[in-house]
């Protein structure tokens, strides 16, 4: 039998890679991992975790203002960006050490440097070649800025997490969840924010009715320039001028481009093996995450399927089990809940209305918009939206969407019910908790007409 230095060599110590290491090691495999940048990957360092901390900070502005309606008349309103950054950095450092400790606890050999694939079972690391029965690529993705005149003046979401000071004015280009989140967060923290997007509605890929609702809600606070694109950026002293294809040009202190991310497959050594990539650089894998090279597997953002941390974790665990245990099940990308941590939040699971209709499913739609009880005293005009999509043939709830406070917390629980096959009748038979926003999901009786 051919001998290898390791049973599994993982390139990338983000969420998915670390999970694969831990599970594989627990199953008796000899495991090594290489990480050139930071443990925990995008999520811990420049993604989910710091973004959620910033989102909490942004919510306090609304909470402080809303407190006056409940008798808190002496609320302090000053905000110190440096305090938020310092505390955030401390927490991120703590989490990175936890990731490293997990690897050590499972006896995973750690290489804190770049690794390159040299062959089907060979990896170049620290100037030497090591061998592994299997190689797992979990290198993630990186923000991408299109090239045009002055594009070098723009920053990405990575740099936002390390800004020394908050700019007085900021233009954000993009309409996906990263752009929408930062537009609403930084606006609340005191930055005069303009969001520029080339389409009619924000958040392409989400339910259109929900997109319309949240676009209208966001424009109460953030200046939106929709169906507009940037032609060039010119620096004039300390100010940036954005030349737009429609409407007047704008000036601001900083420009954030949130127009997508691309897999980090460059200079990974893939030319040395039979690994195939798509046009955008994503690694092509089969249902078991195996590439065209039978000894090499890939998971997470680098395969460009569902770019969510919990999905990468599930993929890492699935691969480890597939390779080193008798469990050979495939991961099902069904009813994956997700949240946009904007203000207001958007939570979703299952089909959008458009997806259901494209699949020729006969559906019933239940929608309600409501003013949260909290704002009966605050005077804030914010509203919430809840939507259910039901398969008419079997009464199963196949789509659930919400815009409003803590949407992610609510949708997570309903995702469990949907994975258990919950029907609209099950929802109707469930007694709601009153008064809460969640009860709206079990009290919607009127179908929307016209489906």
Which one, of 163, 174, 167, lies nearest residue 193 by Cα? 167
User: What is the C-alpha separation between 185 and 191, in angstroms, rounded?
Assistant: 9
**C-alpha angle 404-407-410 in degrees, rounded to nearest 5:** 130
* Residue of 59, 375, 401, 434 marked catalytic: 434
Which one, of 1, 12, 4, lies nearest residue 283 by Cα? 12
Per the annotation, the verdict on 434 as an active-site residue is yes
Which one, of 100, 141, 121, lies nearest residue 13 by Cα? 100
Catalytically active residues, by annotation:
434
């Amino acid at each position: 039998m051919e001998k290898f230095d390791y049973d599994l060599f993982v390139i990338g110590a983000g969420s998915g890679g670390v999970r694969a290491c831990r599970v594989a090691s627990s199953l008796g495999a000899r495991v090594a991992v290489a990480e050139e940048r930071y443990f925990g990957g995008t999520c811990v360092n420049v993604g989910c975790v710091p973004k959620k901390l910033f989102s909490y900070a942004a919510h306090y502005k609304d909470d402080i203002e809303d407190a006056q309606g409940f008798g808190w008349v002496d609320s302090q309103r000053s905000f110190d960006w440096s305090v938020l950054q310092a505390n955030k950095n401390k927490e991120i450092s703590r989490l990175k050490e936890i990731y490293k400790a997990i690897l050590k606890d499972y006896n995973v050999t750690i290489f804190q440097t770049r690794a390159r694939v040299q062959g089907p079972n060979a990896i170049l690391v620290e100037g030497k070649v090591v061998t592994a029965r299997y190689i797992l690529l979990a290198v993630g993705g990186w923000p991408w800025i299109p090239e045009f005149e002055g594009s070098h003046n723009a920053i990405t979401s990575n740099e936002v997490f390390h800004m020394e000071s908050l700019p007085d004015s900021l233009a954000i280009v993009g309409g996906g969840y990263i752009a929408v989140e930062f537009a609403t967060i930084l606006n609340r923290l005191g930055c005069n924010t303009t969001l520029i997007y080339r389409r009619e509605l924000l958040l392409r890929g989400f339910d259109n009715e929900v997109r319309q609702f949240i676009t209208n809600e966001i424009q109460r606070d953030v200046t939106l320039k929709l169906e507009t694109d940037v032609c060039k950026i010119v620096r004039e002293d300390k100010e940036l001028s954005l030349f737009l294809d429609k409407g007047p040009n704008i000036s601001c202190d900083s420009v954030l481009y949130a127009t997508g991310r691309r897999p980090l497959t460059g200079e990974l050594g893939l030319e040395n093996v039979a690994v195939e990539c798509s046009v955008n650089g994503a690694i092509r894998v089969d249902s078991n995450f195996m590439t065209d090279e039978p000894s090499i597997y890939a998971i997470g953002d680098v395969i460009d399927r569902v770019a969510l941390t919990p999905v990468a974790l599930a993929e890492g665990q699935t691969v480890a089990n597939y390779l080193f245990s008798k469990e050979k099940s495939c991961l099902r990308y069904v009813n994956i809940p997700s949240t946009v941590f904007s203000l207001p939040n958007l939570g979703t699971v299952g089909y959008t209305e458009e997806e259901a209709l494209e699949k020729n499913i006969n559906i019933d739609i239940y929608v309600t918009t409501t003013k949260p009880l909290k704002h009966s005293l605050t005077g804030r005009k914010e509203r919430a939206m809840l939507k259910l999509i039901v398969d008419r043939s079997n009464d199963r709830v196949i789509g659930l969407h919400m815009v409003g406070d803590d949407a992610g917390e609510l949708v997570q629980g309903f995702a469990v019910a949907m994975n258990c096959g919950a029907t609209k009748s099950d929802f109707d038979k469930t007694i709601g908790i009153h008064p809460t926003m969640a009860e709206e999901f079990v009290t919607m009786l009127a179908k929307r007409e016209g489906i």
